[in-house]
Amino acid sequence: MGKRSATWRVGGILLGVCGVIGLGGARTVGSPVVAQILIDGLWAVGILMFAVGLNRAGSVVARRPLGLTALVVLALAPLIVNLTYTLTPVQVVSSEPATAWLASAVSWTASAVSIAAGAVAATQIARLGAVPARWRRVPLWALAISVGCAVLVQVVWVALGAAGADQGVIAAVGVIGWIGYLAPTLGLGVVALIAAATDDPRSVQVFRSS
């Protein structure tokens, strides 16, 4: 087993476990806080594994600075933000309107930064050629599904607020939310495992990024 396929196996398993724990939530580990930290930690280590690789050939961005930086930001942003929330007393966040507004602004900013980093990273993966051609655009699809589902959920919730909630619609929104969560976690993890199992190092050539 080459180091590239080993990298993708480890990264795929980490993302897959991240998705599974997310599905189980607190029931999986007994505490919502522990579950969130574990999810963020698995996500961070999994993405960093794909970014750096066990060697240069294992890196999905060939360790090029732009792609590497984008993946590091994508990996660490959720962990840093959620750890900050976890370590901040609830009373501090909820007692002052200004503090609550700041917390909301930080959350939205972190989401925007993560989406931007994901877009840059996925574009670099598609362009650089460090990943076989049939898999290069999978991260772009995962990002599109995740962002699309998040936007759709927000639109539906706004509509529900104006028209009143329906249980069937609420259930559908929940399913859409889970699809958006699973696409870049369990979905990418499964694809990475398949890619590792069918990997042929001779099929890849790394090109310079303009």
**What are the tokens at 51?**
């970014």
* CA-closest candidate to residue 16, choices 130, 200, 185, 201: 185
Instruction: Kindly state the percentage of the chain with pLDDT values over 70.
Output: 83
pLDDT at 98 over 80: no
Confidence of residue 57 (pLDDT cuts 50, 70, 90): confident
Residue with tokens 């398993």: 13
Residue 186 placed within a domain: no
Residue 39 placed within a domain: yes
CA atoms of 103 and 11, how far apart (whole Å)? 31
As for how many domains the chain has, the answer is: 1
Phi, psi at 79, each rounded to 5°: -65, -45
**What are the tokens at 163?**
């028209």
Confidence of residue 85 (pLDDT cuts 50, 70, 90): confident
pLDDT digits (tens, 9 = 90+) for 102-160: 767 777 888 899 999 999 999 999 999 899 999 999 999 999 999 999 999 988 887 77
Residue 121 placed within a domain: yes
Confidence of residue 53 (pLDDT cuts 50, 70, 90): very high
Residue 25 placed within a domain: yes
Taking residue 81's Cβ as centre, other Cβ atoms within 10 Å add up to: 19
Residue 183 placed within a domain: no
Residue 103 placed within a domain: yes
Instruction: Give the range among 154-158, 166-170, 181-185, 203-207 with minimum mean pLDDT.
Output: 203-207
Give the amino acid at 14: L
CA atoms of 42 and 89, how far apart (whole Å)? 24
CA atoms of 179 and 169, how far apart (whole Å)? 15
Averaged confidence pLDDT in the chain: 85
Report whether 95 contacts 162 (CB < 8 A): no
Residue 167 placed within a domain: no
Domain that holds residue 25: 3-136+193-201
CA atoms of 199 and 105, how far apart (whole Å)? 43
Residue 175 placed within a domain: no
**What are the tokens at 145?**
């599904």
Cα dihedral sign, 96-97-98-102: positive
Confidence of residue 1 (pLDDT cuts 50, 70, 90): low
pLDDT at 10 over 80: yes
